């Protein structure tokens, strides 16, 4: 029997709000074939979809909807097709974001509110460790001493999703502390997300991206 060794195809979704070039380079180094595009069919048919995000929650949601990214993410996940959100690309997966008193609806893949970090120094910018849960694939091969690169002023500080069904695996939620604890990453079946930037996190980030590509 011949093994299919062709590289996995990943689309970095280009909706105007993300470091698409650095994401492209990092995913390519991790062994995937990468395309930067906002084309609907290409994004739908890729083995993996990476949704980056920088800037304001409301602006990112507006840009995503204009590019039909909300439909693409929803359709892919309903079919169990992998999606990885990074930074604001993670935040928009929650129910809503509140910035400067303005509330914006998110994609509502997970319940929760993105709000201002409660810390003496904001933004949270630089390297920090992550408290990852046992098991899972996202942090496979990575120890608790690894550091990841963060740059953000907003985060999810309460995880409220409860499955209530013992047959459904609960999402694995990783935490980081800056002032108070906040959600640093989530591994939830086909949907992965990180508040930090794996593409800027050196060897640890490269390992995480490799782990993701191996699930595609």
1 within domain boundaries:
no
207 within domain boundaries:
yes
| Catalytic entry in 124, 152, 178, 197 | 197
Query: What pTM was computed for the model?
Result: 0.95
DSSP state of 194: E
pLDDT higher than 70, residue 165: no
Query: Taking residues 159-178, what's their average pLDDT?
Result: 84
| Catalytic entry in 87, 109, 146, 152 | 87
What range does the domain containing 174 cover? 9-101+110-214
CATH number for the domain harbouring residue 203: 3.40.50.880
- Strands 102-105 and 124-129, by their bridges, are unpaired
Q: Verify cis geometry, omega within 30 degrees of 0, for the bond prior to 17.
A: no
188 within domain boundaries:
yes
Condensed to tens digits (0 to 9), the pLDDT of residues 94-121 reads 999 999 899 999 999 999 999 999 999 9
3 within domain boundaries:
no
As a whole number of angstroms, the distance between CA 213 and CA 211 comes to 6
Clarify whether 199 is annotated catalytic: yes
4 within domain boundaries:
no
The whole-chain average pLDDT of the chain stands at 95
- Tell me how many domains the chain contains: 1
CA atoms within a 13 Å half-sphere pointing along the CA-CB vector of 169: 11
Clarify whether 60 is annotated catalytic: no
| Catalytic entry in 24, 146, 187, 199 | 199
What would the two tokens of residue 85 be?
A: 């959100």
pLDDT-wise least confident of 67-71, 100-104, 144-148: 100-104
If pLDDT is split at 50, 70 and 90, which confidence band does 162 have? confident
State the residue for tokens 């930074």. 87
Beta bridge partners of 182: 176
């Amino acid at each position: 029997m011949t093994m299919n060794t062709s590289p996995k195809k990943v689309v970095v979704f280009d909706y105007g709000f993300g470091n698409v070039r650095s994401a492209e380079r990092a995913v390519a180094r991790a062994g995937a074939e990468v395309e930067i595009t906002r084309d609907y069919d290409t994004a739908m048919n890729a083995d993996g979809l990476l949704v980056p995000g920088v800037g304001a929650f409301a602006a990112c949601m507006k840009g995503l909807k204009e590019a039909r990214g909300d439909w693409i993410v929803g359709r892919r996940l309903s079919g169990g097709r992998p999606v990885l959100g990074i930074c604001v690309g993670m935040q928009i997966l929650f129910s809503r974001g509140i910035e400067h008193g303005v509330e914006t609806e998110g994609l509502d893949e997970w319940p929760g509110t993105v709000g201002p970090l409660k810390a003496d120094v904001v933004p949270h910018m630089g390297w920090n460790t992550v408290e990852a849960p046992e098991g899972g694939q996202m942090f496979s091969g990575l120890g608790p001493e690894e550091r990841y690169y963060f740059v953000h002023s907003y985060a999810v500080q309460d995880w409220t999703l409860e499955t209530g069904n013992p047959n459904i695996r609960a999402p694995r939620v990783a935490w980081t502390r800056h002032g108070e604890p906040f959600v640093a990453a989530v591994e939830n079946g086909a949907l992965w997300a990180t508040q930090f930037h794996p593409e800027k996190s050196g060897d640890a980030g490269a390992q995480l991206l490799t782990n993701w590509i191996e699930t595609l």
